[in-house]
Amino acid sequence: MQVTNIPSPAEDVEVSFGSPSGTRTRQVAGGRDVAERRLTAARAVAAETVLNGDHAVVVIGVTSNGPELTWMNPAFERASGYSLAEAKARDGDILSPGYRSVVLARLAEHAMDREPFPMTLPTLRPDGEEVAVPVMITPHFDGRDSLDFFVAVQFGALEPVATPSPDLGYHSRHALETVARVSDILSQVGDDQVLDAIGRLLTRHLYPWCGFFADDGVLTPISGLAGGVAAGQRPPGRAVADQDDPVGRLLGATLMRRVRIGVDSVESAGSPSAQLVEHARAALGGTLAPGGELLVLPLLGRGRTLGVMAVVQRGVGDDQEESETVLELVARRVGLAMDHSRLYEAEHRVAEALQRAMLPEQDQVDGLDVWTYYAPNAEHAQVGGDWFDVVHLDERTVATVVGDVVGHDVEAAASMGQLRSVVRAFATELIDPGTVLTKVDGILEGMRIPRPASLVYATLTPADEETGTWVLDYTRAGHLPGLLISGGEVRDLDGAPGRLMGFGGAERETATVRVRPGDVVMFYTDGLVERRSRTIQDGVQLVRGILQEAAAAATGAADVGEALLRRLSEPPEDDIAVVIIRLPEPTGPAGARSPRQARWRLSSDTDSVRMARRLTVSTCELWGVANAGAAELVVAELVSNAVLHGWGSVVLSLKDPGDGLRIEVEDGNPVPPTSLEVHPARVGGYGMRIVTRLADWGWRPSGAGKVVWARMRQEIPEGLL
């Protein structure tokens, strides 16, 4: 049948009917309206066929975690034996063991062809029967031309699944699929949850219970590759006592071997073997049958045991040896992954220590309010080429440098250290910014520093003691202009531009501007303003707006800096270094200015708490700050937390900007402080509550660690002291 003429909805339709005796033509009344109604009816019939017909249909969505079941019709539910909810509860894992990787590979192979392709979906039903569903798969794309989902429609009869090899049975395919899935999990799941994911996989297919444990004096469950003792070493004093226990001996092994523990035969209470049995009993409750066994294997790194893996065996069967071989392969893979993770962590700590050693010690600058900030890239190894310096060049001149060496690795940090040392050496002799960088250019040509670098170098010198004005001289080497906030307006410090360091060739210039009390000067690296979601220009405009608002209401450089961090709260995509300098208003006797500030580096031990308290009280008395007792309490709490929970040395800073004492305590632990709920069974939890009553407080990242700050309130609640 052929429709040959549809001129308009009002005209008749000419339809030709073919037959063995010839072709006959007749007019069909109704025109295009009838044709459209029939097309609509045909679509409805097709939709009904897809929804409730005998041919299986399934939609496979494409997500960031890979393909996943999105929808299936009743025919597919009957073929597979699973409802959509049941299939999703199994994470879509309804394929026959051994075939999942093949199916995913076929989908990936044909995903971008935009053409339908045939495939067989081998499915394991809940009753153990395996069926093959022949389907035609069509990829569908969204409006942005991105692959959105696949539609698979059955086009043939269901068939039994063919065994991949005559010698490869059901359990063997289970084993191969399990090992492949473990490899996928190790490469795709985050390090902190990867062992939990592997445990769920093994308990789903092979064992009633599985656990991973590290030895830190007791066997502690771990869920990630970095869990347990960081160096993978056994605690002192355990070696001799553990030799009588099979798991204890396993913890000291350097070769792969299997240990079986009868759940009823553990005699030594508190031994590693007894601890494993107790963990299994706690996890399985009453289902840990008497006479059962735990199979334990070491998680081996390079020449050491990092932990153990334990499973409860179902019983003796034909596939027991095969299952144990799979378990051994899994343990080897997990052990190597743990070892690689810890080697990476060790390298990370070395790089971090190098970076922290190269970050500056900010000089205490009388007459200027200085706030500095450094944050490493959130996506890299917390080491890079950004840095800042704030130093006294002589009794009158203060210099600041903000620089950026390209890269986020140890080589970038090493180049930064070399460049920083050269700049500081010439700065102390030559002072003038243009002259300093011109000399540095000449030195860098012979040093062969492998990374390009930008920087801005500035000096501040008092110009008029009575009015409190200063002279700001600066020069730039391929760096973003600094910002000056004066009289409520923000202007770029874009004078004296120049090429990147080492590419100078000509004499560099020096630009000069006068700054007055209340003005704010800011230098920064591009990591502060650059994001994937916006251009550098947009980021600079955003910062200008924030500074204009913050500087008008701020009484100190720290207020401006904290406002900047609050508004730009997303994790940095590049290293960030910031220096903010505010010129305070003259106060008190001639020549005296606020803020006054003091800074001390303390060791990480309990004696530092007493020292910090004494330093705080004596400084408050010297400055005439009221409520020295309240400041002492706050400092004691913050320093105690830094000693107990922080890493490395502790830096205590006191600043008096004129509107309340500001306290800052820095340590090397990036984890933010937390106020605990007070509970009779918990020791502690009161300290930060006291701080909250006495001061406004917060925290910010600093290098690889953090700074916890507190601004003392002018009025202390009655009865608190």
Higher-pLDDT residue of 38, 231:
38
Position 469 pLDDT exceeds 50? yes
Any idea which of 18-27, 84-93, 441-450, 600-609 has the lowest mean pLDDT?
18-27
Q: Is 270 exposed, middle or buried (0-12, 13-18, 19+ CB in 10 A)?
A: exposed
Q: Which two tokens stand for residue 401?
A: 């440098």
Q: Which of 500-514, 560-574, 651-665 has the lowest mean pLDDT?
A: 560-574
Instruction: Identify the pLDDT of residue 205.
Output: 65
Instruction: Specify the pLDDT at position 61.
Output: 86
Query: Predicted confidence band at 130 (pLDDT cuts at 50, 70, 90)?
Result: confident
Determine the Cα angle at 563 with ends 670 and 588, to 5°.
Answer: 110
In a domain, 692, yes or no: yes
| Residues 358 and 387: beta-carbon distance below 8 Å | yes
Tokens of 605: 């031990």
Interval 628-637 mean pLDDT: 91
Both 644 and 545 in one domain: the answer is no
Q: Are 588 and 620 within one domain?
A: no
Reference 546, options 559, 536, 560; nearest CA is 560
Residue-level length of the chain: 721
- β-strand partners of 398: 392, 460
pLDDT tens-digit series, residues 150-163: 888 988 888 765 54
CA distance linking residue 629 with residue 616, whole number of Å: 9
Provide the mean pLDDT of the chain.
77
Predicted pLDDT at 92: 67
Are 3 and 18 contacting, i.e. CB atoms less than 8 angstroms apart? no
**pLDDT surpassing 50 at residue 520:** yes
Please identify, among 323, 348, 373, the residue that sits at the C-terminal boundary of a domain.
348
Write out the two tokens for 317: 């069967």
| Other Cβ atoms closer than 10 A to 182 | 22
**For residue 509, what pLDDT is reported?**
93
pLDDT of residue 441: 87
Residue 678 lies in a domain: yes
Q: Please give the pLDDT value at position 9.
A: 45
Model confidence band, residue 21 (pLDDT cutoffs 50, 70, 90): very low
- Residue 695: give its domain's CATH number: 3.30.565.10
Q: Is 639 within a domain? A: yes
- Of 41-45, 413-417, 619-623, the poorest mean pLDDT is in 41-45
175 and 151 within one domain? no
For position 135, which CATH number holds? Answer: 3.30.450.20
What pLDDT does 235 receive? 44
Residue 502 contacts residue 444 (beta carbons within 8 Å): yes
% residues pLDDT > 90 (the chain): 13
Count the Cβ atoms, other than its own, within 10 Å of residue 104: 14
The stretch 114-129 carries a mean pLDDT of 82
Most confident of 16-30, 541-555, 703-717: 541-555
Choosing from 111, 127, 162, the residue where a domain stops is 162
pLDDT at position 679, please?
Answer: 43
Mean pLDDT of 415-421: 84
Q: Is 561 in the same domain as 631?
A: no
Contact 508, 444 (CB under 8 A): no
Select the more confidently predicted residue: 283 or 110.
283
Tell me what the mean pLDDT of segment 43-51 comes to: 71
- Tens of pLDDT, residue by residue over 223-280, are 888 764 443 344 443 443 456 788 888 888 788 888 888 877 766 777 888 888 888 8
Distance CA 427, CA 286 (A): 75
Verify that 445 and 587 share a domain, yes or no.
yes
In a domain, 353, yes or no: no
Is 475 domain-assigned? yes
pLDDT above 80: residue 378 = no
Asked if pLDDT for residue 78 goes beyond 60, the answer is yes
235: which DSSP letter? P
Q: How many CB atoms lie within 10 A of CB 698?
A: 14
Mean pLDDT of 23-34: 53
**Same domain, residue pair 521 and 484:** yes
Token digits of residue 601: 């580096």
Domain span at residue 370 reads 365-592
pLDDT of 592: 42
Residue 226 burial class via C-beta count within 10 angstroms: exposed 0-12, middle 13-18, buried 19 and up: middle
**d(Cα 186, Cα 194) in Å, to the nearest integer?**
6
The answer to whether residue 354 is domain-embedded is no
DSSP for 528-575 reads GT-BTTB-HHHHHHHHHHHHHHHHHH-SSHHHHHHHHHHHT-SPPSS-
- Average pLDDT of span 404-419: 79
Same domain, 316 and 393: no
Given this model, what pLDDT does residue 1 score?
41
Residues 6+ apart with CB under 8 A from 507: 434, 438
Output the pLDDT for position 16: 46
User: Using 50, 70 and 90 to split pLDDT, how confident is the model at 4?
Assistant: very low
* C-alpha closest to that of 483 among 561, 566, 392: 561
Determine the pLDDT at residue 687.
73
pLDDT in the model for residue 497: 92
CA distances from 672 to 499, 568, 675, 701 (A): 40, 18, 10, 8
Classify residue 507 by its DSSP letter: P
Q: How confident is residue 455, by pLDDT bands cut at 50, 70 and 90?
A: very high
**182 and 320 share one domain:** yes
For residue 356, tell me if it sits in a domain. Answer: no
Q: How confident is the model at residue 456 (pLDDT cuts 50, 70, 90)?
A: very high
With 0-12 / 13-18 / 19 or more C-beta atoms within 10 angstroms meaning exposed / middle / buried, residue 275 is buried
Residues 385 and 247 in one domain: no
Token readout for 251 is: 């913890």
CA-closest candidate to residue 674, choices 701, 699, 643: 699
The answer to whether residue 360 sits within a structural domain is no
Tell me the residue type at 400.
Answer: T
Do residues 395 and 458 share a domain?
yes
Decide if 453 contacts 415 (C-beta within 8 A): yes
* Same domain membership, residue 255 and residue 180: yes
Q: Edge to edge, what strands does the sheet with 2-5 contain?
A: 2-5, 13-19, 22-28
In b/e form, how buried is each residue of 539-576, taking b as 16+ CB within 10 angstroms? bbebbbebbeebbeebbbbbbbbbbbbeebeeebebbb
Does one domain contain both 147 and 190? no
Per-residue pLDDT for 513 more than 90?
yes
| Confidence band, pLDDT 50/70/90 cuts, at residue 505 | confident
Domain count of the fold of the chain: 5
pLDDT band, residue 312 (cuts 50/70/90): confident
- Which among 557, 592, 627 is the end of a domain? 592
Q: Please report which confidence band the pLDDT of residue 717 belongs to, taking 50, 70 and 90 as the band edges.
A: low
Q: Strand pairing partners for 534?
A: 531
Q: Compute the average pLDDT of residues 650-664.
A: 85
pLDDT greater than 70 at residue 168: no
pLDDT band at 6 (very low <50, low <70, confident <90, very high): very low
Tell me what pLDDT residue 512 has.
96
